[in-house]
Structure 1
Amino acid sequence: MHRVFVYGTLRAGELNASRLASARHRGAARTEPAFTLVDAGRYPAALDYGQTAIAGDLYDVDAATFADLDTLEGYPIFYTRRRITTSAGDAWIYLWAATRNRGWPVIESGDWPGYRRSRDQQGALS
């Protein structure tokens, strides 16, 4: 088993959550305030520097699901992964490895679903 920290489209209610249907949800967690979370459009990207604590969830996944996540995340070209400490224990996180688009807005809250809902509502009102 591999413990994975997810913070974007793999979270409940998000675009790719179904990929974790067979995984065991271990609960909500936050990273240490050592990252930057940016809006890359349809998904977020966590950068391996900064002062933001990212909100997410921990899952225990089997080897096949872990390999599927590597494919989804474009590992190791677009995302890399490394072990981090969260508020609920150690886990793997996927971090943006490709060149960052400087136009991507920073998500100060560190919470992708909350940010995305607010962004989408603003767009619908425009």
Structure 2
Amino acid sequence: MTHSLRIAIIDDEPSVRSGLSNLLLSEGYATLTFASAEAFLNDGHSQRLTALVIADIKLKGMSGAALFEKLQLSPCPPPVIFISGHDDETWQRFAGQPGAVAFLHKPIDIDVLLNHISRVLLRGETRP
């Protein structure tokens, strides 16, 4: 079953972007991939299609944390799953805030990621 909802994957590591995209495509999700937060923010069409964002905390240029803060300024921000290969206290600032779904360490536990995605998208925690 293919989902019409799109998941934006924002990571500056090409292997992470392609790996997550391939995984989610195999699960029936449509994906959009971006190498930077700026690329995502500059693509208004893709933002409108996005139901969920998976973003690395440590990106080159604008960080995933700064991206989250910018997204929260929009009328209906998409929920965000943070990922990181580093121990980073930044994510704790967002824990429990509306729109912050989870923080997952790389390598990502695929079952945990898919459970979060399913819960968010099925529960309707997406933009209208």
User: Do the two structures share a fold, i.e. TM-score over 0.5?
Assistant: no
Q: Which has the higher strand share?
A: 1
Instruction: Tell me the TM-score range normalised by the shorter chain.
Output: under 0.3
- Structure ranking higher on relative contact order (CA contacts 8 Å, 6+ apart): 1
- Give the TM-score of the pair, scaled to structure 2: 0.26
Radius of gyration: which is bigger? 1
Q: Which has the higher helix share?
A: 2
